[in-house]
């Protein structure tokens, strides 16, 4: 299989829908995204955030209200989907129910008038890629969801497109299969080296597959960054809460230096790192880094991840309000510094487990506390 990866640039992409009930709805606002060749980028956000609309504009099913879409060095904004050299995998697979697996995959190649024996070769090549060589004669109705999704994936891949789009491809699968398929998608993407744009509302899926994650809310980009960046250094409360669990607390800056600060949380002082988010630019004004004053005495919000609380160390004491055994972890809710804080203590079988009403002893990993 050849690789034909190209970059994708979205410049000030905006899409406005006009509805009779709500007037103008800005589904996507001034979105700038730059995706390098072979990069795997995920558009992540709750439903209604505009991620699917962006994907459908890249595909050509929706026309942008303004802005441009570049694939490679070509502006494709006004091209119809069949002229964009794009592959797409749909949420519900969208296999042609009247064609068998072979003909589903061969469909686009036949349109391109690829010679018969080459079609044969290429279809079997991609079927091998997903270990489905024996399924060529099946029709979609005779296959499981996971199998259908594999066929949908290679139907897109066989065309050797310059960009591959995924529209929530795993949301119709059960939890186990979802994990398996996302690993398979990532593996194949790396092997083929194709530029990929992937839409999902599942943050763990996004973390697992992406080089880079774009977090959207109400049609506006909140943050762009690697999975580590967006998890460790969320630019605002929305991102912090959307990516993983987060305890958000009020704090006051007591002392601030270049790379560390002392903050006061409900009368207790912590020394925490000060980081400048290295993500590729957040949306203007919406909680972007640097937009809030950070000087002595200023009020800030901090993020404490559930795993930053180290249970068993003896720095602090707090009453346990809830204790739930989760198998790989014991989840607690404790009352600390005037807030209810959620904690996740890994590997509980080897440790003391606190019950509701117990007083828990713990310390905080100050280095992982993050100011937003």
Partner 1 sequence: MTGGGPVFPGSFPSIFSDRIRSKSDRNPIDGVPIEGVPIVSDNKTTRSLSRSGNSFQDGLRQLRFTLRDPVLLVSIVSILIVVLLFIIFPLFSILKESVYYQGSLSIHHFRNFFRQAYNLDIVWNTIRLGISVSLLGTVVAFLFAYATTYLKIPSKKFFRVLSILPMISPPFVISLAAILLFGRSGLITKQLLGIRSDIYGFWGLMLTQTLSFFPVGYLMLTNLLQNIDPSIEEASQALGASQWKVFRTVTLPLMIPGLANAALLIFIQSLADFGNAIVIGGNYTTMAVQIYQQGIGAYDMAGATALAIVLLSISMLAFYLQHQVIGQKSYVTVTGKAAKERVLIRNKSATIPIYIVCMSISVLVISMYALVPYGAFVRLWGADFSLTTKWIVYVFTIGRRYIVDSTTLAIISTPIAGLLGIVSAFLIVRKKFPGRRFMESSILVAIALPGTVLGLGYVLTYNTPPLILTGGSVILIIALVIRSMPIGTRSAIAALKQIDPSIEEAANICGASSKKVFTSVTIPLIKPVFFSSMVYAFIRGMTLVSTIIFLVSARWQMLTVAIMNQVDQGLYGAANAYCLVLIGIVGIVMLTMSFILKRVGVNLKEGY
Q: State the residues that interact with partner 1 by CB under 8 A.
A: 16-21, 23-25, 27, 47-53, 56, 59-63, 65, 78, 80-82, 84, 86-88, 90-98, 107-108, 111-112, 140-141, 148, 152, 155-156, 159, 167, 172
Q: Which is nearer to partner 1, 131 or 142 (CB)?
A: 142
Residue 360 β-bridge partners:
318
Q: At what angle do helices 101-111 and 145-157 cross, to 10 degrees?
A: 20
In the complex, minimum distance from the CB of residue 275 to partner 1, in angstroms, rounded to a whole number: 32
Report, in Å, the least distance between residue 109 CB and partner 1: 9
Measure the CA–CA gap between 135 and 67, rounded to whole angstroms. Answer: 43
The residue among 139 and 262 lying less far from partner 1, judged by its C-beta, is: 139
Q: Are 202 and 175 in contact (CB under 8 A)?
A: no
- Nearest approach in angstroms of CB 141 to partner 1 is 5
Shortest distance, position 172 Cβ to partner 1, whole Å: 7
- Residue from 192, 203, 280 nearest 239 by CA: 203
Please state the closest distance from residue 151 (CB atom) to partner 1, in A.
11
What is the nearest approach in angstroms of partner 1 to the Cβ of residue 241?
19
Q: Which residue has the tokens 């160390």?
A: 313
Instruction: Report helix, strand and coil shares of the chain as percent, to nearest 5.
Output: 25, 35, 35
Residue 15 or 305 with smaller CB distance to partner 1: 15
58/360 with CB nearer partner 1: 58
- Determine the Cα–Cα distance for residues 105 and 128; give it in Å rounded to an integer: 13
List own/partner pairs for 177-183 with CB under 8 A and 24 or more apart.
177/145, 177/146, 178/202, 178/205, 179/208, 180/146, 181/146, 181/149, 181/150, 182/208, 182/209, 183/208
- Minimum distance of partner 1 from residue 148's CB (angstroms): 8
Specify the residue, 148 or 247, whose C-beta has the smaller distance to partner 1. 148
In the complex with partner 1, which residue's Cβ is closer, 82 or 335? 82
Judged by CB, which is closer to partner 1: 219, or 234? 219
Residues with Cβ within 8 Å of residue 60, at least 6 apart in sequence: 76, 79, 80, 81, 83, 84, 86
Q: Could you give the C-alpha distances from 5 to 148, 355, 366, in angstroms and in order?
A: 25, 54, 42
């Amino acid at each position: 299989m050849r690789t034909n990866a190209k970059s994708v640039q979205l410049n000030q992409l905006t899409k406005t829908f006009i509805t009779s009930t709500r007037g103008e709805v800005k589904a996507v606002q001034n979105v700038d995204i730059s995706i390098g060749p072979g990069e795997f980028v995920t558009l992540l956000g709750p439903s209604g955030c505009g991620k699917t609309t962006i994907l459908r504009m890249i595909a050509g099913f929706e026309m942008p209200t303004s802005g441009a879409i570049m694939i490679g060095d070509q502006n494709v904004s006004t091209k119809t989907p069949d002229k964009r050299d794009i592959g797409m995998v749909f949420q519900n697979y969208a296999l042609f129910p009247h064609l068998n697996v072979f003909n589903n995959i061969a469909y686009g190649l036949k349109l391109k008038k690829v010679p018969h024996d080459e079609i044969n070769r290429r279809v079997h090549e991609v079927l091998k890629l997903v270990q489905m060589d024996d399924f060529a004669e099946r029709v979609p109705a005779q296959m499981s969801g996971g199998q259908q999704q594999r066929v949908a994936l290679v139907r897109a891949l066989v065309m050797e497109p310059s960009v591959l789009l995924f529209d929530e491809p795993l949301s119709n699968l059960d939890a186990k299969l979802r994990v398996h398929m996302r690993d398979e998608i990532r593996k194949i993407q790396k092997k083929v080296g194709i530029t990929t744009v992937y839409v999902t509302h599942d943050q763990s899926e996004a973390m697992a597959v992406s080089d880079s994650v774009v977090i959207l809310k109400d049609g506006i980009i909140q943050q762009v960054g690697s999975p580590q960046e967006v998890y460790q250094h969320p630019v605002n409360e929305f991102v912090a809460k959307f990516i993983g669990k987060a305890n958000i607390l009020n704090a006051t800056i007591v002392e601030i230096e270049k790379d560390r600060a002392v903050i006061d949380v409900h009368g207790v002082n912590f020394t925490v790192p000060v980081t400048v988010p290295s993500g590729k630019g957040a949306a203007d004004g919406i909680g972007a880094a640097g937009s809030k004053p950070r000087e002595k005495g200023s009020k800030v919000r901090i993020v404490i991840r559930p795993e930053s609380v180290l249970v068993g160390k003896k720095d602090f004491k707090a009453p346990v309000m809830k204790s739930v055994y989760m198998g790989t972890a014991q989840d607690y809710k404790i009352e600390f510094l005037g807030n209810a804080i959620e904690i996740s203590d890994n590997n509980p079988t080897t440790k003391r487990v606190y019950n509701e009403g117990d007083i828990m002893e713990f310390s905080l990993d100050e280095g992982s506390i993050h100011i937003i």
